Amino acid sequence: EAQVTQNPRYLITVTGKKLTVTCSQNMNHEYMSWYRQDPGLGLRQIYYSMNVEVTDKGDVPEGYKVSRKEKRNFPLILESPSPNQTSLYFCASSLGQGDGYTFGSGTRLTVV
């Protein structure tokens, strides 16, 4: 089944404790993105990747890092999480420019 798999689904952590949210897709898609979704603000792009070893900032990249060492994986790293990073996070992939996204199931992160 074609899908984007994110883990974990839920995570509660403390301020400053490094964490990684994993994302993997099995569709051989070139493009991958991370979005966060907050009430009243909608979906905002954090980082994106156009291919292996090619990543760049989206609209809200502060406090996040990503890597794309393999085509299928695109982890999101929070080196020192803060409470304002409490949000619902989605990983998404697409075949190419102009194609729609397939989204992962989401990760609800709470930073206390």
Partner 1 sequence: GQNIDQPTEMTATEGAIVQINCTYQTSGFNGLFWYQQHAGEAPTFLSYNVLDGLEEKGRFSSFLSRSKGYSYLLLKELQMKDSASYLCAVPNFKAAGNKLTFGGGTRVLVKP
- Contact footprint for partner 1 (CB under 8 A): 31, 33, 40-43, 45, 48-50, 56, 58, 88, 90, 94, 96-106, 108
- Considering the complex, state which of residue 49 and residue 85 has its C-beta at the smaller distance from partner 1: 49
Amino acid letter for position 76: L
Q: Shortest Cβ distance from residue 18 to partner 1 (Å)? A: 25
Name the one residue in this structure whose structure tokens are 């996040």. Answer: 64
Q: Shortest Cβ distance from residue 19 to partner 1 (Å)? A: 20
Angle at 6 between CA 36 and CA 103, to 5 degrees: 60
**Pairwise CA distance, residues 40 & 19, whole Å:** 26
- Considering the complex, state which of residue 11 and residue 50 has its C-beta at the smaller distance from partner 1: 50
What the block records as the tokens of 94 is 């697409």
- Considering the complex, state which of residue 16 and residue 21 has its C-beta at the smaller distance from partner 1: 21
Q: Shortest Cβ distance from residue 90 to partner 1 (Å)? A: 6
**Pairwise CA distance, residues 59 & 73, whole Å:** 21
